[in-house]
Amino acid sequence: MLGGAAVLTLLVLVLLAMAFGPPRKVAARRWTHGLGLGLSLPVLGVMLAAGLWVGERVLPRDDGALKIEVHAVQWYWEFTAPGSDGPVMTRDRLILPAGEPVDLVITSEDVIHSFWVPQLGGKMDAIPGRTNRLRLQADAPGVLVGQCAEFCGLGHAVMRFEVEVVDPDDWEDALRATADNGEAEDD
Amino acid sequence: MTDSTAQGLTGTREDAQDEPLTIAANPPQRALGLHRELTKAWANDSGWWGQVTAVNHTTLGLRFMGTALVFFLIGGVLSMLIRAQLATHDGAFLDTELYNQIFTMHGSIMMFLFAIPMLEGLSIYLLPKLLGTRDMAFPRLTALGYWCYLFGGLIMLTALLFGVAPRDGWFMYTPLSSAAHSPGINADVWLLGVTFVEISALAAAVEITVTILRQRAPGMKLTEMPLFAWYILGTSVMMLVGFPPLILASVLLEIERAFGWPFFDVARGGDPLLWQHLFWLFGHPEVYIIFLPAAGVLSTLIPVLCRTQIVGYGAIVASILALVFLSFGLWVHHMFTVGIPHMALAFFSAASLAVAVPTVVQVFAWIGTMWQGRPELKLPMYYILGFFLTFVMGGLTGVMLAVVPFNWQAHDTAFVTAHLHYVLIGGFVFPMLAAAAWWMPQITGRERVRGLGEAAFWVILIGFHGTFFIMHLTGLLGMPRRIDVYTENPEWVWLNLTSSIFGFVMTIGFGLFVLDMALQAFMGQKQRRDPWRAPTLDWAMPLPAPAYTFASIPAPRHLDKEARDVTLPLARGEGLLPGAPRRRREFLVTSLAGARPDHVAILPGNTALPLAVSATIGAFVLLMLAGLYPLTLLPLAGVAALVWLWGRGMVRPVDEAPIPVAPGWQLPEQGLRRRTLGWSGSVCLLVANGTLFASLVFGVGFLAVVAPGWPGPEVQAAGRAALPGVVLAALMPLSGALAVRWAEAGQRRGSAGLVAAGLGLLANAVALGALAWLAAGHMDDPTQHARDALRGVLAGYVALHAFIAAGLGGFALDQTRRGEITPAHGGVLPTWRLWQDYAAVTAPIAAVLAVGLGMST
Amino acid sequence: MMWLARALLGLGIWATGFSLVYALHGTGCARGWPEVALAGGVDQHAAALWAGWLATLAAGLILLLRMPRVSAEAGLRHWLPRAGALMGVGATLFTLLPVALATSC
Ligand code: HEM
Ligand SMILES: [Cu+2]
Ligand SMILES: [Cu+2]
């Protein structure tokens, strides 16, 4: 997409540069219909189709994927995952199994926030009164950073969290370990 | 209304566009004599007081632009504070509270106090000159708009000085901006201040629309008028339809904050998404409202600078129409991450891509024009080239952001900040700088000082791209917008530091630009004639432009010549309606499509009334901010009284003798016409009002269908027992509409319509009484649930219109009593009829909605 | 005025149809229309959306067919109403395409 944009910008610049020569007769329709419609419509059509296709692929589906609740509060995050004996809550630290699709169920306590882990994909707002779903998949174990992307007041810049991606087999252990020191980590 | 030229806004006979219009020339007179005579009628009063009472479009257009420039500089200083804060990762310089106020004020100032007023000022200054008339349709409204803008802006600035400025971002998302999460007056300053300023936007939109449609020089057909006028017509119609959703949203949120009526509070049946819908329903069209005038400037300048004609006039007009419509179908692209179903996102993604098409058509039409001619590299052309480079890139990132998955990634990051500045600075500021270079000789009557302007251009261009280009990258790397520190991402420091340094470079550039303007204004060589050899009428006058613009109004034979060739004939009174022999301000009103002369409009002169009205509104705003709600009734009553005076100011004895316009051409004055400019203005205002009502209906539907927390609690007071009141309130305006018709029938027969006018007044008073009865005990507490709050607002809307209709009825009664209504002259009756009909249509709809809301339980 | 109205009609049809389909979509998702099966395996939501889209297209096409054909040289006055109708149909086709392509709720 960026390459395409660069090419189009260059095209316009070259056409502009050429305008500084002697006057040239080109039929008006060549400009308005030929370039105006002829160039833009195919490009935009392709972009629409591509956007729809990618968008459809990342939608959450009811396929029994792991569901983790994300609750945004001014200015921290609570994550509640289903452990084998009851839900486990972690704060400002999200534990994800690698290589599996996960549905995040996102809610807010007070104002609008937005859940975003840049390395994993798009954002999804946390809106009071609504429950939003976002499907993510982290491919390899590691630690990533996430943050609130919708301006939410004084603590917006520091409303960050960590994402720990672990091997699916270690997921529940990691979850418990984090849940324990989750409260001590109060900031 | 009987002859073919007299149908104004309702319709001109289709063929009137094709019949040739030949009007003989008036005999030449001494230009200086005409100048003296006209100046006496049109000039501002002298001294300071003269500035207070001025209503002239040249004065006010310049004042709008000057004030907007000052706000631009203030907004620019704020942006420098933001960039200074972001230059390092701990930004130890501003605290978060202040930082939030600063970026919110930067955005709000740039959008509401710079961009919109600047384009209003340009249109007000330029349109009468370009169209060949002598002033805007409603000069007192121009002045009112200016004072509202100034006072609203000053209130917001004062709040910033006292540290209580808005701090929730320029789009004020609730619940962050709600009473619970934003205590204090910060949010109220925004809601009330911006709404105050928007009065000027609506005023400008109304008068611009009327001026373009009905004041073009005779023979300047709609299909042949200068493209700038087409662009501004598109802009003003968009303003009429685009601002009401914002005004409604602001009013609702202010009511929620001040009185606790829930509209956006989920716990009580509201929905924060309603705010987002209403805001962006305004917010996206706003972007095109800003862009269209800039594009109009480009379409005006490029052909002249290339010594040729525009390529694809028709395609450009079609593009403008497409933009006007399509840009109202995109607003959800600001809401791609709120969790809306994919298909809905896709509609708006498709529409956002589609809107690029007319823009691309225009860009290529401009390039085609440059190919066809021989571009001259004068200062405005520098800025035009800067526009192309910058705007094309901004447009392309805009197209990317229209693609949903990309948007999910880039939304609310520095990428968006980069995009919006590419579009706003590329698409608005650069063309405005070109416009400044173009029209400064006309404004000052002086030549530019060589060299400095070009230097300013290069510094601004380099500064701009240095600041914002890398912000695309910063955003893609993950930096959100609206953060004051990024302590844990020191890797972004270099990018941000670079942006900040170039930001200061750009500021230096703007400093040079202002210096250049000042030098030209005070030290430039005198410039007496059009330096550009432009074909448009705005240059067909001595420089600087005189108060009355044209000593005689251009006739069809003056329209297809170069401006400098018609300057002298017009100044010598060879055009139409020369001079001011009746010692009053007059110009021609023409038909809508074919621009055939219809009547002579007579304008009110200088007055301080606009200042008084806006000062009174200002008092209302201040009392609201102070929380002294009961006291606000005083200024409201004051506004009503002043509006009455305003109306009385339009009443003058009607001159039944026709007015000579050219040899063999005589026209009646406005008092003998039904479809006056004022009538057209009311139509425009009602279009805006109808949009406001439609937005309210949308709000009712949206909350009832989509909001969580419905149905609300059991209906108590507002049950069956309330029905008589509802029926009366719904139907009485309709009886009023019958009464107006009766009054009009009487007027034509020449019998005094005292009884009819009295009955009309009574009908509206009964409606008001019924609403008061409902409010006094037959409505549920509006603070308990959105349903009841909405019912309260619907009742208030009906009450407001019953009140307005009652006022007009009273005015008619008074006019009848004074004998000012004659068989030839209907006085206020046509206007009353419009508003009464509007009330008669909206009241039953509101009643049905209110009753329906109760049944959704 | 009539002339201007005619020139705007095509885009007006688009605006009406676009709002209508968007409103149908929102209402349908809120009221569970996708779960209501109609004859032939179509659900009520899809049926409503398709009907809205096709009706808008039909209205636009009828308008277009009724506009006299004129060449671009005929002057803007004759040419613009037809261009407006064309733009309306084009916009309807493009912006409501997702009815056929995207997941509804
Ligand atoms: C003079 C040069 C300018 C500079 C250096 C500048 C810089 C900035 C910066 C740094 C931000 C904050 C981004 C963030 O919060 O992360 C911003 C926001 C913004 N700017 Fe500018 N800006 C300039 C001119 C303009 C102009 C001319 C306009 C409009 C006509 C404009 C409209 C906005 C808006 C709407 C925002 C968003 C405010 C918000 O987030 O609430 N800016 N600008
Ligand atoms: Cu947050
Ligand atoms: Cu937008």
Structure tokens at B236: 């003003």
Give the model's pLDDT for residue A180.
56
Same domain, A117 and A49: no
**Does any CB of chain C come closer than 8 Å to the CB of residue A85?**
no
Nearest ligand 1 atom to alpha carbon B428: 30
Contact status, residue B582 vs residue B650, Cβ threshold 8 Å: no
pLDDT for residue B11 is more than 60: no
Average pLDDT over residues B816-829: 91
Question: Is residue A169 domain-shared with residue A84, that is, in the same domain?
Answer: yes
Side chain identity at residue B388, one-letter code: F
Same domain for A74 and A133 = yes
- For B256, the enclosing helix (H) or strand (E) is helix B227-259
Cβ contacts of A61 on chain C, cutoff 8 Å? none
Please give the full DSSP string across B269-296, using - where no structure is assigned. T--HHHHHHHHHHHHHHHHHHHHHHHHH
Q: What is the DSSP letter of B825?
A: B
Q: Tell me, yes or no, whether A21 and A37 share the same domain.
A: yes
Count Cβ atoms below 10 Å from residue C16 Cβ, excluding itself: 14
Mean pLDDT, chain A, rounded, equals 90
Q: Inform me whether the C-beta atom of residue B95 falls under 8 Å from chain A C-beta atoms.
A: no
What's the whole-number mean pLDDT along residues B537-541?
A: 93
- pLDDT of residue C74 exceeding 80, the answer is no
Nearest ligand for residue A152 CA? 2
From B105, B48, B197, B240, select the one nearest B617 (Cα to Cα).
B197
State whether A46 and A115 are in the same domain: no
- Asked if B339 reaches chain C (Cβ–Cβ under 8 Å), the answer is no
pLDDT at A21: 84
What's the rounded mean pLDDT across residues A33-55? 90
Share of chain A above pLDDT 90, in %: 71
Contacts of B245 in chain C (CB under 8 A): none
If one compares C59 and B719, the residue with the highest pLDDT of the two is C59
Establish if C98 touches chain A: CB-CB under 8 angstroms: yes
CB-CB under 8 Å, B311 with A114? no
* B768-792 mean pLDDT: 94
Distance separating alpha carbons of residues A31 and B522, to the nearest angstrom: 43
User: Which ligand is in closest contact with the Cα of B413?
Assistant: 1
Beta-carbon contacts of A170 under 8 Å, excluding residues fewer than 6 positions away, are none
Beta bridge partners of A147: A116, A160
CB of residue B113 inside a 6 A radius of ligand 1: no
Ligand nearest to the CA of B416: 1
Residue A186 lies in a domain: no
Where do the structural domains in chain C lie, given as residue ranges? 7-34+42-101
Which positions 35-64 of A are in contact with C (Cβ < 8 Å)? 45, 48-49, 52, 55-56, 59
> Please, which pLDDT band fits residue B8 given cuts at 50, 70 and 90?
very low
* Pairing state between β A124-126 and A132-137: unpaired
Considering only CB atoms, which chain A residues are within 8 Å of B411?
123, 149
- Enumerate the residues of chain B whose CB falls inside 8 A of the CB of residue C26: 344, 702, 705-706
The mean predicted confidence, pLDDT, of chain B is 93
Tell the residue number behind the tokens 């790397």, with chain if given: B477
Kindly determine whether residue B412 and residue A151, on different chains, have CB atoms separated by under 8 Å: yes
Taking one residue from A and the other from B, the number of pairs with CB-CB distance under 8 angstroms is 216
Q: What is the mean pLDDT of residues B494-504?
A: 97
Q: Name the closest-CA residue to atom 18, ligand 1.
A: B107
The position carrying tokens 């004939």 is: B569
Percent of chain B beyond pLDDT 70? 98
Segment B260-286 shows an average pLDDT of 96
Rounded CA-CA distance B650/B652 in Å is 6
Query: Looking at chain B, which residues constitute the CATH 1.20.120.80 domain(s)?
Result: 711-855
B3 band by pLDDT with thresholds 50, 70 and 90 = very low
Q: Is the dihedral of CA B284, B285, B286, B290 positive or negative?
A: positive
Q: What is the DSSP letter of B327?
A: G
Output the pTM of the full model: 0.95
- Rounded percentage of chain B residues whose pLDDT exceeds 90: 86
Cβ B449 vs Cβ B516: under 8 Å: yes
pLDDT digits (tens, 9 = 90+) for A141-182: 999 999 999 999 999 999 999 999 999 999 999 998 888 544
- Region C41-62: mean pLDDT is 94
**Mean pLDDT to the nearest integer, B718-735:** 91
Do A79 and A28 fall within a single domain? no
Ligand 2 mean position to B494 CA, how many Å?
26
Mean of the pLDDT values across residues B462-470?
Answer: 97
- The ranges of chain B annotated as CATH 1.20.210.10 are 51-523
Q: At what angle do helices C76-95 and B342-354 cross, to 10 degrees?
A: 150
Residue A85: count of CB within 10 angstroms of its CB: 7
CB pairs under 8 A between A and C: 12
Digit-coded pLDDT (tens) for B733-775: 999 999 999 999 999 888 878 899 999 999 999 999 999 999 9
Statement to judge: residues A121 and A169 lie in one domain: yes
Nearest CA in chain B to C5: B11
Interface contact B223-C75, CB threshold 8 A: yes
* Residues B509-528: tens digit of each pLDDT: 999 999 999 999 998 888 87
- Residue C72: pLDDT band (50, 70, 90) is low
pLDDT at B6 over 50: no
> ∠ CA B772-B778-B779 to the nearest 5 degrees?
95
**What's the DSSP call for residue A28?**
H
> For chain C, what is the radius of gyration of the CA atoms?
17
Distance B417 CA to ligand 1 centre (A): 7
Q: What's the Cα-to-Cα distance from C50 to each of B225, C53, C55, rounded to whole Å?
A: 41, 5, 8
Using the atom order of ligand 1, give the atom closest to the CA of residue B114. Answer: 30
Whole-angstrom distance between the N-terminal and C-terminal Cα of chain B? Answer: 51
Kindly give the distance from the C-alpha atom of residue B75 to the centroid of ligand 1, in angstroms, as a whole number. Answer: 8
Q: Give the pair of three-digit tokens for residue B118.
A: 């600047």
User: Distance, in angstroms, between A11 CA and closest chain B CA?
Assistant: 10
Whether residues A18 and A80 share a domain: the answer is no
Among 1.10.10.10, 2.60.40.2470, 1.20.210.10, 3.20.20.140, what is the CATH number of B51-523? 1.20.210.10
- Chain B touching partners, 3 or more CB pairs below 8 A: A, C
Phi/psi of residue A97, nearest 5 degrees: -80, 140
Contacts of C87 in chain A (CB under 8 A): none
Lowest mean pLDDT among B7-16, B328-337, C22-31: B7-16
Q: Is the CB of B103 under 6 A from ligand 1?
A: yes
Q: Do B328 and C96 touch (CB under 8 A)?
A: no
> For position B16, what pLDDT does the model report?
62
> Per the CB < 8 Å rule, is C102 touching A29?
no
> Hey, whose CA ends up nearest to atom 37 of ligand 1?
B107
A187 confidence band (pLDDT: 50, 70, 90): very low
pLDDT at B9: 34
B342–C1 CB contact, under 8 Å:
no
Whether residue B533 has pLDDT greater than 60 = yes
Looking at the structure, tell me whether residues A25 and A83 fall in a common domain.
Answer: no
Give, in words, the CATH class of B711-855: mainly alpha
Domain assignment present for residue A185? The answer is no
Tokens standing for B290?
A: 């800003």
Q: Is the CB of B110 under 6 A from ligand 1?
A: yes
How high is the pLDDT of residue C40?
79
Confidence band of B720 (pLDDT split at 50, 70, 90) = confident
B499 C-beta closer than 6 A to ligand 1 = no
The confidence band for B608, taking pLDDT boundaries of 50, 70 and 90, is: very high
Chain A residues within an 8 Å CB radius of B175: 110-112, 128
Burial profile B442-461: b = 16 or more Cβ within 10 angstroms, e = fewer: bbbbbebeeebbbebbebbb
Q: Which of residues 315-334 of B touch A (CB under 8 A)?
A: 315-316
Is B374's pLDDT higher than 80? Answer: yes
Q: How far is the CA of B328 from the centre of ligand 3 (A)?
A: 9
Mean pLDDT confidence for A90-108:
95
Q: Is the CB of B417 under 6 A from ligand 1?
A: yes
pLDDT 10s digits, B662-705: 998 899 999 999 899 999 999 999 999 999 999 999 999 999 99
Interface predicted TM-score (ipTM) of this complex, two decimals: 0.96
Alpha carbon of B394 to ligand 3 centroid (Å): 13
Task: Tell me whether strands A160-166 and A93-97 are parallel, antiparallel or unpaired.
Answer: parallel
Summarised one tens digit per residue, pLDDT across range A103-131 is: 999 999 999 999 999 999 889 999 999 99
Query: Cβ of B337 and A122 within 8 Å?
Result: yes
Look at the block and give the residue holding tokens 């006039």. B313
Q: Do B321 and C76 touch (CB under 8 A)?
A: no
Pick the closest to residue B335 from B394, B388, B284, B371 (CA basis).
B284
One domain, residues A15 and A89: no
Look at the block and give the residue holding tokens 């709120």. Answer: B338
Predicted confidence at residue B7, as pLDDT, reads 35
CB contact under 8 A, C7 and B321: yes
User: C51 CA to chain B: closest CA distance, Å?
Assistant: 16
CB B768, CB B788: distance < 8 Å: no
B42 CB less than 6 Å from ligand 1? Answer: no
Cβ–Cβ below 8 Å for A44 and B399: yes
The answer to whether residue A110 sits within a structural domain is yes
Cis bond leading into B544, ω under 30°? yes
Residues B195-221, mean pLDDT to the nearest whole number: 96
Q: B640 touching A, CB under 8 A?
A: no
Q: Tell me how many domains chain A contains.
A: 2
In 3D space, the residue among A170, A124, A121, A115 whose CA is nearest the CA of residue A146 turns out to be A115
B77-84 long-range CB contacts below 8 Å, 24 or more apart?
Answer: B78/B102, B78/B103, B78/B105, B78/B106, B78/B109, B79/B106, B79/B503, B80/B503, B80/B504, B80/B507, B82/B106, B83/B467, B83/B499, B83/B500, B83/B503, B83/B504, B84/B500
Q: Which residues form the domain of A27?
A: 2-58
Residues near A2 by beta carbon (within 8 Å), at least 6 away in sequence: none
**What are the structure tokens assigned to B215, written together?**
């004041």
